[in-house]
């Protein structure tokens, strides 16, 4: 509160109300979030334009040039079938990022409302929902996703669904905990006293206040989803070879680390690492930007 604000009180030229800034502009003002967003943007562009960017056909084998170290003609080297790793990494972005996004969206969009409803309304319904989540959590995640993927049938979409379902309890539990603590806040009681409907309170008050850790979980979940989907591919329940997928590429290339052909795993690994880093930074940025108290403008 400056003197300018004070003198303006009543005079016709009062200051314009603070500009409601859009989420995107707030994110871009947050340095880390901007970096994260850049990584994601780059990988998205790569995924979309892979056919134009790739120097070689990612599926053509060339046994004469197998296991070539990075060079001028093959920047990232070649794999055990002589395929160009750079091209395969670029094509892999399509599958890996897409898988992560879809799987996490499934977990998020199903887990969050389940946890919120279980906590806010409580009672028998809440108990049943949360005990079911515990049952899901009690299985090792890979075993459960294998079982689900196998029962729907092998393929990329069933891998996405399987990984998505396995991630549901994490979000449900997180939202449950958040809602339980928020439910007792006085501003929730104030809204009830006003006569706001429960569904509206849940959506407009509890959800925005609970969102920050869920966003962080979602970005972390991206990494988990990409890796689990890769494991499924490796086990023959996800993408089938020769389709390029980062996790599958690492699985196939891992036996060559010992013999010194590090490039087989390093470049798809970097793909996973940078894309997950991008999502994690974005998640942190979301956390700061979604909370008006943490908005520093930096």
Partner 1 sequence: MTTLLEVRNLKKHYPVRKGFFSKQVGAVKAVDGITLSVEQGETLAVVGESGCGKSTTGRAILRLIEPTEGEIIFGGTDVRSLNTEQLRRFRTDMQMVFQDPYASLDPRWTVQRILEEPLRTHGSAPAGELTSRVEQLMEVVGLSPYQAHRYPHEFSGGQRQRIGIARALALNPKFIVCDEPVSALDVSIQAQVLNLMQDLQEQYGLTYMFISHDLSVVKFISDRVAVMYLGRIVELAPTKELFAKPLHPYTQALMSAVPVPNPGLKKQRIVLSGDVPNPETPPTGCAFHPRCPYAMDRCKSEAPVLRELGPGHQAACHLY
Beta carbon nearer to partner 1, 48 or 190: 190
CB of 193 to partner 1, least distance (A): 5
Structure tokens at 152: 């729907």
Beta carbon nearer to partner 1, 124 or 151: 124
Binding site for partner 1 (CB under 8 A): 5, 8-9, 14-15, 17-18, 20, 185-187, 189-197, 200, 205, 208-209, 290-293
Beta carbon nearer to partner 1, 14 or 254: 14
Q: From residue 229, how far is each of 11, 66, 100, 142, 247 by CA, in Å?
A: 63, 27, 8, 9, 7
CB of 173 to partner 1, least distance (A): 22
Sign of the torsion formed by the C-alpha atoms of 24, 208, 274 and 94? negative
For residues 90 and 36, give the distance between their C-alpha atoms in angstroms, rounded to a whole number: 19
Q: For 292, list phi and psi in degrees, rounded to 5.
A: -60, -25
CB of 116 to partner 1, least distance (A): 16
| Backbone Cα Rg of the chain | 24
Beta carbon nearer to partner 1, 161 or 215: 215
CB of 11 to partner 1, least distance (A): 11
Structure tokens at 108: 């998020």
Beta carbon nearer to partner 1, 197 or 254: 197
Q: For 78, list phi and psi in degrees, rounded to 5.
A: -125, 160
Distance between alpha carbon 258 and the CA centroid of its chain, in Å?
A: 32
């Amino acid at each position: 509160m400056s003197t300018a604000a004070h003198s303006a009180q009543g005079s016709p030229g009062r200051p314009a109300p603070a500009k409601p800034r859009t989420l995107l502009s707030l994110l871009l003002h947050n340095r880390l979030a901007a970096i994260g967003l850049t990584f994601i943007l780059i990988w998205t562009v790569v995924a979309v334009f892979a056919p134009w960017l790739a120097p070689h056909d990612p599926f053509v084998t060339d046994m004469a040039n197998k296991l070539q170290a990075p060079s001028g003609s093959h920047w990232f080297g070649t794999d055990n079938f002589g395929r160009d790793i750079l091209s395969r990494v670029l094509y892999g972005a399509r599958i890996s990022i897409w898988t992560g996004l879809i799987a996490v969206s499934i977990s998020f969009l199903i887990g969050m409302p389940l946890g919120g409803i279980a906590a806010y309304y409580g009672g028998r319904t809440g108990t049943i929902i949360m005990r079911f989540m515990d049952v899901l959590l009690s299985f090792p995640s890979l075993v459960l996703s294998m079982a689900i993927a196998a029962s729907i049938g092998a393929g990329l979409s069933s891998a996405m669904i399987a990984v998505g379902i396995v991630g549901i309890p994490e979000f449900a539990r997180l939202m449950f905990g958040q809602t339980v603590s928020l439910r007792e806040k006085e501003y929730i009681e104030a809204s009830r006293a006003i006569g706001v409907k429960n569904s509206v309170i849940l959506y407009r008050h509890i959800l925005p206040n609970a969102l920050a850790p869920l966003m962080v979980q979602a970005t972390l979940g991206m990494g988990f989803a990409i890796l689990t989907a890769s494991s499924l591919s490796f086990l023959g329940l996800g993408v089938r070879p020769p389709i390029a997928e980062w996790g599958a590429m690492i699985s196939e290339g891992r036996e060559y680390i010992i013999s010194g052909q590090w490039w087989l795993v390093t470049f798809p690994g970097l793909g996973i690492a940078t894309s997950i880093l991008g999502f994690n930074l974005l998640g942190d940025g979301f956390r700061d930007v979604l909370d008006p108290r943490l908005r520093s403008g930096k």
